[in-house]
Structure 1
Amino acid sequence: MRILLSVVFCFWGSIGFADMTPRDGWVVIETTKPYGQLVDDVKVAVKANKMGVVTQAGPTAAAKARGISIPGNRVIGVFNNKFAVRILALSTAAMIEAPIRMYVTETDAGATLSYKTPSLVFAPYLEEAGPDLGAAASELDVLFKAIAEAAAS
């Protein structure tokens, strides 16, 4: 029993602020904005760029309800039906990637916004779908960059 309790307490003690280091195909933007403000600013930037917030999920509130305190953590699924219909016509399989997610994580200095570029997300389907999927992904790259820059500024 003591070993189990030690493991649990070590786990709880290890839940700290996020370390979102850049990875191939990811965009990682560190900000000094408070977590809640960055979440709100992402939603505003999504709408301003004529995209939609399709999904939202995060463990922070559910953990708090269980008596566990963890840093803010929210995944925001972003897409637009215009792109959904277009991509679906090219590859049924590729649509499993929609919506593309933006990830807001609380840090000790503020919050970080991260996302995989749409070009990376749709790359596995290019051979099947052809260059039109690459064109759609490139257009989405531009939109996601605009959303991220607006939200982070």
Structure 2
Amino acid sequence: MRATLALLAAFVFLVLPAKAEIAPRPGWVVIGTGHGFAKLVERVKQAVAEEQMGLVTQASASDGAAMQGIAIPGNRVLGVYRNDYARRMLAASLAAGIEAPIRFYVTEDSDGGATLSWKTPGHVFAPYMDEGGAALKELAGELDAVFARIGERAARAD
């Protein structure tokens, strides 16, 4: 798990030069991209499918505001998970089920670019580790790698 996070950190800091408008915070990955908002949303969806994960939920305050005639910067939350991971998670910790699906957050930047952010699965499941033990820790590590691959695919330059 540490190796995956170290590789992801190297990717974020060395490969992607764009500015992110969401401040980094513990347990989050925040990647400024050179993609526009709509393009990044589509790239995340494509990367989710390429990792054989499911796009379980979507929500967008900017879409809701637009229905009321109000324009705000684009944002979309994409909930991602898969049933086999869900079964393993619930077997390890029933309480951890409230955290699924785990979400990606795409936000529009003031310069026309977009930022991709997510809480790592290891961070999301941290409060349940005492209950979930080694099984939940292993699952979180696997999902950290899956989410990192999705993020890399979605954010990389064409």
Query: Under TM normalisation by the shorter chain, which class is it?
Result: 0.7 to 0.9
**TM-score (norm: length of structure 2):** 0.84
Cα deviation, residue 131, structure 1: 1.1
Q: Secondary structure at the match of 2:97?
A: helix
Please give the residue correspondences for 1:48-127 in structure 2 after superposition, counting only pairs within 5 Å.
48-109=50-111, 110-127=113-130
1:137 to 123, 137, 140: 140
Residue identity (%): 55
Please give the residue correspondences for 1:5-84 in structure 2 after superposition, counting only pairs within 5 Å.
19-84=21-86
Q: Secondary structure at the match of 2:76?
A: strand
Aligned length: 136
Cα deviation, residue 152, structure 1: 0.4
Distance in 1 (CA, whole Å) between partners of 2:52 and 2:69 is 38
Equivalent residue, structure 1, for 2:155: 152
Distance in 1 (CA, whole Å) between partners of 2:146 and 2:42 is 18
**Higher Cα Rg, which structure:** 1
Distance in 1 (CA, whole Å) between partners of 2:23 and 2:90 is 32
User: What letter matches 1:98 in structure 2?
Assistant: A
**TM-score (norm: length of structure 1):** 0.87
Cα deviation, residue 19, structure 1: 2.8
User: What letter matches 1:63 in structure 2?
Assistant: A
Cα deviation, residue 108, structure 1: 2.2
Q: Secondary structure at the match of 2:114?
A: strand
User: What letter matches 1:140 in structure 2?
Assistant: L
**Cα deviation 1:84-124 (Å, max 9, x = unaligned):** 01111111100100000000000023000000000000000
Runs of 4 or more above 6 Å deviation: none
- The gaps in structure 1 that reach 5 residues or longer are 1-17
Distance in 1 (CA, whole Å) between partners of 2:68 and 2:46 is 30
Distance in 2 (CA, whole Å) between partners of 1:86 and 1:51 is 15
User: What letter matches 2:109 in structure 1?
Assistant: T
Equivalent residue, structure 2, for 1:4: none
Cα deviation, residue 62, structure 1: 1.5
